[in-house]
Chains A and B, each alone.
Chain A
Amino acid sequence: MKKKFLLVLITITGISLLASCGGPLINAQQVIASRTDKELPREDPNSSLWDKVAEHPAKLMVQDVAEPKLAEPGVETIRVRAIHDGNWVVFRLEWEDKSRSLIPESGTGSDAAAVQFPVEPGANVPDAAMGEKGKGVRIWFWKSVWQDDIERAREGKGDRVVSLYPQGSTDHYPYQANESAREEMETRYAPARAAANPITAQSNPVQVVMAEGFGNLSPAPIQEGTGTGQWKDGRWRITIARPLNPGKGMDTLEAGMRSYVAFAVWDGAAGHTGSRKMRSGWIPLVVE
């Protein structure tokens, strides 16, 4: 009881009110996931619930640990809020990005953001830059193109190619010659899909991945996560939600716990992909 009281005290002292009236509560030291009894706004970055929780302005730096590095800085701050309900935690990330980049083509990427957790919190916390061998990280990775794929499909709009080149026309695709073999031929001429590459079969804008250092990112054993993003007036506002305890092979969060969290942002128009990104170091995370 005493401990909890102390924690609340520390939390309160960490919160400094924004000077202008009506602005959000700012907590510069840590990300606090506040508890709610209401329905979690897993896919609602504009829910009024977000107005009630403190915001952490996370400083981002260029990824300059592993080649290829990011040469020019991109987004330098993201504003983070978090809420949990005892089962899931949702992060809301907000950052400035003048251009909305969805479908990547040659020379561009897709706007994206990621939330990273150490598998083992505490003293054994790995390097914040993708973890280390034997000390893994789990990452919930939202990508605007995956969300766009889902939205286009829902609205009955065309595929990525139509969307990128609405005026484009093609004389003939081999699969058009034989309707009964269409699916098989379409797959044959989409090698990544034929090879069951998970990035071609995202039915969710958030992919859960794991890493033990640079270059070995792979899908996590449990793909439980969701989120959504909205781009308006030069600003992304997105949610990324995850279960507190996804299960075996994953990291675990629980109410009352202190851990760490890190963030990364990619600016598609600037050609950010892979290790060319803006990232934070570990930021203390308090799950209330």
Chain B
Amino acid sequence: MARVYNWQIGRTMSYWYSENRPAKQFGAVFDINKCIACQTCTLACKTTWTSGRGQEYMFWNNVETKPFGSYPLGWDVQLLDRLGQQKWEGNVYTGQTVFEAAPGGERVMLSKRETIDYSYPNVGEDEIYGSVERGGSLALPQQMWMFYLARICNHCTYPACLAACSRSSIYKRPEDGIVVLDQSRCRGYQECVKACPYGKVYFNAATGTSEKCIACYPKIEQGIQPQCFVNCIGKIRLQGWVSTPDKAREDNPIDYLVHVRKIALPLYPQYGLEPNVYYVPPLHVSDRFLVQMFGPGAPAAVRAYRNAKEDKTLQGLFALFGSTERTIPRFKIAGDFALALDDAGKEFMRVPIYEPVYIRPAQDRLYQIMRSNTT
């Protein structure tokens, strides 16, 4: 094992290979607060990539309800349980990662992945946490909560799938950090399937090989965002490039949300993979749950998000989500507009930060009738 630096856990850690960061790293921000679980993203991916024999249960993109939903079954609680109680000290994770907790003879602490684990994609859907006590439904803030967690492969900086493959069939593209599984080389050992703590590699029983999200790299190569991003109904997603904290740029939308404002956080950073899909945590969920899922920065991220309406830059940047097919490498706020800029700083899109508001009087003077909201 080599020693590598993982900024998400604030320390060096053990990894099967030495640190080798790509020229650019695929990154994304999902604003969970806006997700409506319409599953359009899931279908956009499914129809594009996984509609064949043997891919029936494969969801490279899936959306599950937290706290009770999970696909594959119990992917999160299973591993949290195996790892046992671990610790953050401030922003430094002093517990064990999945690499450090690997038992003798293993490269990674593995998860169970059996057919039955893929048999309940809708488990826990729309179920709330907690029960409503007498009058509880009237109390504010609401005691009960649930939220939707949209998930794709995190194109991790330290992928467990890649570390686990004894044939080195998985590689990280040096140009964009996308983690791909070489379909000509895989022999279906399923090490990656068990190693990915996020359950994002699937075994195809028809071909006998494992398959995973490819971040729609043919689109990325053309400067276009992946299918699940551009088809997102809730406009919760933005794809771009994430830097390490020391190289963060204020005008890079992903860097701005992840590093400058620290409003978007990695999923289970304590596993140690440095995952590159960042979530704006839901603002109505208990801090304890959020810290477990998104790390110690969660409460501050929620506060910053609550304050976003007073913050033109944040509001402008969120307005750019889902506004264009193109990847937005840079952005700028100009007056009441948010501008999407290309690498050379040239504007290719602008959106108003504030939606225009029209107020219609309750009475229609012309027809002499009262309007109601349903007309």
Query: Complex formed: what's the CA distance from A186 to B51 in Å?
Result: 9
Is there contact, CB below 8 Å, between A104 and B188? yes
Contact with A along B301-330 (1 / 0, CB 8 A): 000000000000000000000000000000
Pairwise interchain contact B191-A274, C-beta atoms closer than 8 A: yes
Q: Is the CB of A66 within 8 A of B207?
A: no
Q: Which residues of B contact A67 (CB under 8 A)?
A: 105-107, 166
Let me know if A50 is at the binding interface, CB within 8 A. Answer: no
Interface residues in B23-57 (C-beta closer than 8 Å to A): 47, 49-56
| In the complex, chain A residues whose CB is within 8 Å of the CB of B104 | 69
Which one of A190, A195, A217 lies within 8 Å of B52 (CB-CB)? Answer: A190
Nearest CB of chain B from residue A186's CB, rounded to whole Å:
7
Query: In the complex, which residues of chain A have a beta carbon less than 8 angstroms from the beta carbon of B290?
Result: none
Number of interface residues of B (CB under 8 A): 44
Query: By the criterion CB–CB under 8 Å, are A197 and B185 in contact?
Result: yes
The answer for the CA separation of A197 and B164 in the assembled complex, in Å, is 20
A68 CA / B106 CA spacing, docked (Å) = 5
A192 is an interface residue with CB less than 8 A from chain B:
yes
- CB-based nearest B residue for A191: B183
Question: Which one of B112-120, B132-140, B153-161, B354-362 is at the A interface?
Answer: B112-120
Most chain A CB atoms below 10 A, which of B50, B105, B112, B193 = B105
Question: Main secondary structure on chain A at its contact with chain B?
Answer: loop
A104 vs B206: C-alpha distance when bound (angstroms) = 9
How close is B331's CB to chain A, nearest CB, in angstroms?
35
Q: A103-B205, A107-B115, A190-B206 are in contact. Are A68 and B105 (CB under 8 A)?
A: yes
Cβ-defined contact, A197 with B190, below 8 A: no
For the complex, what is the distance from the CA of A109 to the CA of B105, rounded to whole Å?
19
Instruction: Verify B205–A195 contact, CB threshold 8 A.
Output: no
Give the docked Cα–Cα distance between A193 and B113 (Å).
24
Most buried by B among A106, A109, A274: A106
- The answer to whether A189 and B51 touch across the interface, beta carbons within 8 angstroms, is yes
- B167 pairs with A192, CB closer than 8 A: no
Within 8 A of A (CB), among B215-242: none
Q: CB-CB < 8 A to B211: which residues of A?
A: 191-192
Name the one of B105, B118, B191, B207 contacting A191, with C-beta atoms under 8 angstroms.
Answer: B207
A contacts with B, residue count (CB < 8 A)? 46
Do B53 and A159 touch across chains, with their CB atoms under 8 A apart? yes
A123 CB–B CB distance under 8 Å: no
Q: How far is the CA of A108 from the CA of B117 in the complex (A)?
A: 13
Quick one: which of A257-288 are within 8 Å of B by CB?
A: 271, 273-276
For residue B167, which residues in chain A have a CB less than 8 angstroms away from its CB? 215-217, 274
Contact of B118 among A106, A161, A200 (CB under 8 A): A106
A124 at the interface (CB under 8 A from B): no
- Expressed in whole angstroms, the minimum distance between the Cβ of B171 and any Cβ of chain A is 13
* Given known A105-B115, A194-B183, A215-B168, contact A199–B188 (CB-CB < 8 A): yes
Question: Chain B residues with Cβ under 8 A from A109's Cβ?
Answer: 190
Does B208 lie within 8 Å of A68, measured CB to CB?
Answer: no
Residues of chain B within 8 A (CB-CB) of A276 are 189
Contacts of A168 in B (CB 8 A): 56
B337 within 8 A of A: no
B105 touching A190, Cβ below 8 Å: no
Asked, given contacts A170-B56, A191-B211, A195-B184, whether A161 binds B107 with beta carbons under 8 Å apart, the answer is no
Question: Roughly how many angstroms separate A274 CA and B188 CA in the complex, as a whole number?
Answer: 8
Note all chain B residues with C-beta closer than 8 A to A175. 52
A199, B207: Cα distance in complex, Å: 8
Q: Which 6 pairs between the two chains have the least Cβ-Cβ distance?
A: A189-B52, A69-B105, A107-B114, A274-B189, A195-B184, A192-B207
Supplied contacts A104-B188, A196-B184, 10 more A-B pairs, CB within 8 Å? A67-B106, A69-B104, A104-B205, A106-B114, A173-B52, A189-B53, A192-B186, A217-B167, A273-B190, A274-B167
